[in-house]
Structure 1
């Protein structure tokens, strides 16, 4: 699989014979061979010529559009799989309230247990009262999620767990350069939240592609509310991967000083190219913190590298099922879990999300 990110602002993508050519004005910047290109991610003010759009569609190259601030805008593809029978099964199963609640419980428990594992991994280095208390609260939330009687109470447990987890995240940062006082977004207001938001967006785009290729309807999930235009199923599947695919990448990038403050634009020194007026013209005076061009390149490289890593994960039951107790490439796990969700919709097996295994 080959994924290419177009980050350089003010460029235009053209078709050139059997390849793609990125130009700054009339000057060629980069030639992109299309033979092994699987996905193209376009950030901000990058233009696609009509010939490039036609070429991408004819080759079936999944093309994702993000704003310069990393907000997911949409995608270009030649149409989703037309597996209407699978979708009918999906709709029928998700009208079954007990089935939907059981699936949602599993999703939330797996997410919270992965978050717990992040704190436990740090506690191996020595006692920390804040993290110890946070671990206890997360385990309580996971137990509460397992017995939640409806989706509303389940969402309450998930929300409380998130608040505890992000309060503890500050304890996990080991460099004074990066300060984190809790989760904020739309737009994110500090470098750590910028990286978290972008990482979650990249993760969502990767999972949405797998869901569409499976034939499932990405808009119909179990845990997230149905809403016009919302990819609820993708958001459901994203939960179990937030920790291993994004949170740990951000912590590693900060603590190892791979990412630095120079990789971000701040409102008092915002370059003109960092102002995406189509999205934030009304907030020009309150322009958020954003990654620089080099910052984008570095963080995207970290995310893609992580997707190719082999990680230790387990299922909730601890069995050897789809993933239990073994090391798997993260990108392959995206596809494997979507396939497992399909089998659950068909009634062939129960769906078990994966949990990041901090013990290995």
Structure 2
């Protein structure tokens, strides 16, 4: 199993990242804040005004360490990486399968079976652990039943656009009760609907930020096994869109991102005042809150979880790599069907 390496997240504005021998050195105003051997880092994520020296980028490329650039508020801009490695025959198989409409339909069903099962588990665990604190528990139970029916209906869908519509309806139903899973700071943290670009409230802002971190990890995992993150099966191809990463990520949205956001709010770990409104009406997250979210995301990746297909416990941070490897085996024909990760 792949070793769980570290992702270096840099969000302090004005940071300079340089190289010293085989070390990554992070400094602010000529004061060194962090140093790590390159072999302990698998990627660097830079938010906003963060500068990397050319020699540092060369060191990263030589060691297959991805360097991603995002805006200060988490929108992806670009990535610096070494040439794509891995089996070219695997990528050719991926491209061929992506052009097969029936293959796309049947594979997309598997992604969504994983997603809806895991969304349902988030609701059911909320009811189990906090049922007495949830005033609208009957509605949550109804949505859980509705998601179960949607999972059953997936098998009967024979058109990918219909499948996308079914997923959209199920997601809308799920997010209609998301506020009921928020147990504290309810007057500050709530969503009227799922929205983005820009997010219109604090909850959507948090979700979008964690989704960005998760998409980075899934893309890195896919590239690590030789797959092309840009060519997917459920999400349509679009310039700059990591469609396959978004496909695989569907299984992890509720398990990792949404549950993390609920935990941060319900444990009062996030500051409601650490947000601001942009001129366009979007909600922006401040530096301190970003650091809190990134730290919580790191800790979540260090937790252990049981993988039902592999029948072993692993770090949450390795789930993306495990599913990327399993999906590559599926494309090669080593296994008959792709088993999505389903959280129990």
Of 263, 275, 287, which residue of structure 2 is paired with 1:265? 275
Aligned pair 1:77/2:90, yes or no?
A: no
Aligned equivalent of 1:51: 55
- Residue 77 of structure 1 deviates from its aligned partner by 1.0
Cα distance change on mapping 1:31 and 1:216 into 2, 3 Å: closer
Instruction: State the distance in 2 between where 1:132 and 1:27 align.
Output: 54
CA distance in 1 between counterparts of 2:18 and 2:102 reads 51
SS at match of 1:261: coil
Q: Do the aligned residues in 2 keep the contact of 1:14 with 1:51 (CA within 8 Å)? A: yes
Three-state SS of the structure 1 residue aligned to 2:176 is helix
Given the alignment, which residue of 173, 177, 200 partners 1:164?
173
2:287 corresponds to 1:293: yes
1:152 paired to 2:196: no
CA displacement 1:43-102 (0-9 Å, x = unmatched): 111111222222222232221221111112221111111522111222223333332211
After superposing the two structures, state which structure 1 stretch, 120-129 or 298-307, moved more.
120-129
- Give the 3 Å change call, closer, same or farther, for CA 313–191 of structure 1 in structure 2: farther
For structure 1, the 5+ residue unaligned runs are 268-283, 315-320
- Mapped to 2, the partners of 1:95 and 1:76 lie a distance apart of 28
- Tell me the distance in 1 between the aligned counterparts of 2:33 and 2:321: 33
Q: Aligned to 2:99, which of 87, 95, 98?
A: 95
Tell me what 2:300 maps to.
306
Quote the residue 2:234 is aligned against: 223
Shift of 1:112: 0.8
Distance 1:40 1:290 in 2: 22
CA–CA distance in 2 between the matches of 1:178 and 1:137? Answer: 25
Please list the CA deviations of residues 220-268 of structure 1 after superposition, one character each: whole Å capped at 9, or x if unmatched. 2111112222211111100001111111111111101111213x2312x
Deviation, 1:115, is 0.8
Q: Which moved more, 1:161-170 or 1:130-139?
A: 130-139
SS state of the match for residue 356, structure 1? coil
- TM-score w.r.t. the length of structure 1 is 0.87
* Partner in structure 2 of residue 247 of structure 1: 258
State the distance in 2 between where 1:123 and 1:13 align. 45
For the residue of structure 2 that corresponds to 1:285, the secondary structure is coil
Q: How many residues align?
A: 332
Structure 2 counterpart of 1:276: none
Kindly indicate whether the alpha-carbon contact (under 8 Å) linking 1:106 and 1:146 is maintained by their aligned counterparts in 2: no
Pairwise CA distance, 1:322? 2.6
TM-score, normalising length from structure 2?
0.90
1:194/1:291 contact within 8 Å kept: yes
**Unmatched 5+ residue regions in structure 2?**
none
- Equivalent position of 1:275 in the other structure: none
CA RMSD for the aligned pairs?
1.9
Checking the alignment, whether the CA contact within 8 Å between 1:221 and 1:234 is kept in structure 2 is: yes
1:340 to 318, 326, 339: 326
Map 1:1-360 → 2, pairs under 5 A: 1-124=5-128, 125-126=131-132, 128-175=137-184, 176=186, 177-262=188-273, 264-267=274-277, 285-286=279-280, 288-312=282-306, 314=308, 321-323=309-311, 327-349=313-335, 350-357=337-344
